[in-house]
């Protein structure tokens, strides 16, 4: 294709350098926007017909031609050309080939600048909805598992040291809350994605009497963008999505780290399904938690995309610049990565098997009920700081005796503080410790079951919060 054959070739007298043509083309990766480019073009054609730029016959021909092109793309029959640079020009050239001069009229009152910005928003809007569906599947799996394991006692950690006993159900609900914040952020991000740039044209708008609100309605946008300069150059929505995706991957990385620890022989808290693990080529005994490890690793990939998009935009003057072609690949990969990681976890978590007795045995280590003994003394009238010192001495005695606090004789405890009575052993048991924390947000089994029901209700109230049909 000569320069004169290109849609913008009238001003040029020399052909584009072959390397430059390949270097500047984006069709190799932006062709995934094709369904959205066609969707936006159909809406644009109908708006042009509404304001009298296109006749009814021209509009029908354009819509029919675009639908045929979509069929060709979905059927793998469409011939993509690097010489035509991008998805937009490939589709427009094929449309003109199919329907003649009417196809050349489609680009009236728009530019590739507002066209690509519209396509990306349409695509990202749908991708956010798909990610929300995966979030729902994972959150639902966590709630179901939390309900089943509401009575399962495990150690709670701070500094990765045994701190206090908690229930496994309560721990899973902490994961749920992280994802719920992710859901709320995505929904808020989606609201800013759902603004239509189309009609801004290259940067200054258009002299045609276009009806941007009509086009926005056809495409399901909440409203048109308010400023034409900002409309074509804004990529805040992509950066914001990458930030949301980074937080999701950070949370999944934390979940992954715990699963990797918990499946080790040293912890041995849970068993992952074989379908989500692999073995070793040399050590036959190995069962490696590859899915959690890989998800943990992919977090850095998405963090990098966020930094890349921020760097891409940090020094751009208004309005559109060719730099913005570099927004797509990191955004595409961030979407693909976060959706795949959520899917992996949503598929895996229903089949995670906790090892209840091992968890409970681990909770008996490290004097997890020491704080319960201090709280017991406070209820007996001992000032907390004095109670703290008394319990510290009790822990030292138990360490020297090689036993748990609950195994110290009553006489030994009373020697430390006469206020201690026989009822002290009720608070020194793991069951008594977790059962006492029945307040809102606490770890008591009864509170966990209530929290699961409340979480299900909260989840259902937000858009995209109901599990997809059939799951």
- pLDDT of residue 8 exceeding 50, the answer is no
CATH of the domain at 405: 1.10.40.30
Domain count, the chain: 3
Q: Which pLDDT belongs to residue 278?
A: 84
CATH of the domain at 97: 1.10.275.10
Domain end marker among 73, 108, 143: 108
Which tokens is 4 given? 């004169």
242 with 355, same domain: the answer is yes
The answer to whether residues 303 and 337 touch, using CB atoms and an 8 Å cutoff, is no
Question: Dihedrals φ, ψ of 161, to 5°?
Answer: -110, 145
CA separation, residue 268 to residues 144, 171, 272, 383 (Å): 22, 16, 11, 39
In whole angstroms, give the CA distance from residue 437 to residue 445. 9
Tell me if 468 is assigned to some domain: no
Residue 29: how many other CB atoms lie within 10 Å? 15
Q: What is the pLDDT of residues 196-247, one digit of tens each?
A: 999 999 999 999 999 999 999 999 999 999 999 999 999 999 999 999 999 9
Q: Which pLDDT belongs to residue 470?
A: 46
321 with 184, same domain: the answer is yes
In whole angstroms, give the CA distance from residue 155 to residue 147. 18
249 with 266, same domain: the answer is yes
Tell me if 424 is assigned to some domain: yes
In whole angstroms, give the CA distance from residue 436 to residue 133. 36
Tell me if 215 is assigned to some domain: no
Listed residue (199, 207, 209) closest to 229, CA to CA? 199
Range(s) of the domain holding residue 255: 113-160+167-201+222-361
Q: Which pLDDT belongs to residue 94?
A: 97
Residue 363: how many other CB atoms lie within 10 Å? 22
381 with 439, same domain: the answer is yes
The answer to whether residues 40 and 120 touch, using CB atoms and an 8 Å cutoff, is no
276 with 249, same domain: the answer is yes
Tell me if 463 is assigned to some domain: no
266 with 283, same domain: the answer is yes
Q: What is the pLDDT of residues 145-184, one digit of tens each?
A: 999 999 999 999 999 999 999 999 999 999 999 999 999 9
Q: Which residues of 91-108 are buried (b: 16+ CB within 10 A; e: fewer)?
A: bbbbbbebbeebbebbbb
Q: Which pLDDT belongs to residue 24?
A: 67
CATH of the domain at 316: 1.20.200.10
Would you call 188 exposed, middle or buried from its count of C-beta atoms within 10 A (0-12, 13-18, 19+)?
exposed
Q: Which pLDDT belongs to residue 157?
A: 96
Q: Which residues carry out catalysis?
A: 159, 280
């Amino acid at each position: 294709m000569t320069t004169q054959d290109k849609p913008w070739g009238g001003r040029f007298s020399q052909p584009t350098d072959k390397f430059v043509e390949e270097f500047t083309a984006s069709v190799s990766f932006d062709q995934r926007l094709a369904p959205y480019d066609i969707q936006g073009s159909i809406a644009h054609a109908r708006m042009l017909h509404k304001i009298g730029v296109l006749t009814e016959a021209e509009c029908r021909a354009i819509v029919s031609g675009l639908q045929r092109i979509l069929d060709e793309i979905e059927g793998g029959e469409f011939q993509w050309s690097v010489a035509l640079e991008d998805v937009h020009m490939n589709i427009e050239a094929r449309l003109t080939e199919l329907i003649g001069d009417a196809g050349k009229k489609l680009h009236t009152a728009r530019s590739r600048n507002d066209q690509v910005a519209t396509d990306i928003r349409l695509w990202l809007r749908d991708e956010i909805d798909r990610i929300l569906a995966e979030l729902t599947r994972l959150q639902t799996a966590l709630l179901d598992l939390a309900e089943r394991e509401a009575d399962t006692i495990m150690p709670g950690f701070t500094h990765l040291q045994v701190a206090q006993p908690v229930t496994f159900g309560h721990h899973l609900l902490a994961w749920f809350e992280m994802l719920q914040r992710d859901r709320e952020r995505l929904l808020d991000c989606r609201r800013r994605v759902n603004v239509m740039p189309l009609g801004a044209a290259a940067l200054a708008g258009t002299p045609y009497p276009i009806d941007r609100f009509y086009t926005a309605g056809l495409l399901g946008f909440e409203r048109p963008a308010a400023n034409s300069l900002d409309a074509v150059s804004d990529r805040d929505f992509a950066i914001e999505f990458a930030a949301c995706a980074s937080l999701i991957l950070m949370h999944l990385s934390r979940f992954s780290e715990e699963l990797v620890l918990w499946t080790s022989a040293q912890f041995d808290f849970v068993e992952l399904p074989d379908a989500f693990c692999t073995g070793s080529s040399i050590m036959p005994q190995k069962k490696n938690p590859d899915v959690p490890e890989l998800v943990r690793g992919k977090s850095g990939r998405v963090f990098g995309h966020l930094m890349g998009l921020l760097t891409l935009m940090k020094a751009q003057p208004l309005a559109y610049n060719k730099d913005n072609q570099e927004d797509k690949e990191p955004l595409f990969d961030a979407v693909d990565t976060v959706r795949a990681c959520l899917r992996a976890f949503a598929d895996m978590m229903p089949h995670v098997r906790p090892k209840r007795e091992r968890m409970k045995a681990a909770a008996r280590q490290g004097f997890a009920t020491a704080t319960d003994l201090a709280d017991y003394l406070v209820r007996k009238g001992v000032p907390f700081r004095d109670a703290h010192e008394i319990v510290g001495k009790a822990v030292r005695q138990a360490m020297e005796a090689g036993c748990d606090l609950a195994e110290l004789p009553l006489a030994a405890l009373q020697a430390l503080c006469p206020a201690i009575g026989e009822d002290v052993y009720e608070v020194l048991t793991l069951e008594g410790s977790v059962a006492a924390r029945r307040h809102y947000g606490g770890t008591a089994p009864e509170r966990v079951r209530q929290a699961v029901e409340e979480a299900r209700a909260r989840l259902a109230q937000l858009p995209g919060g109901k599990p997809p049909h059939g799951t």
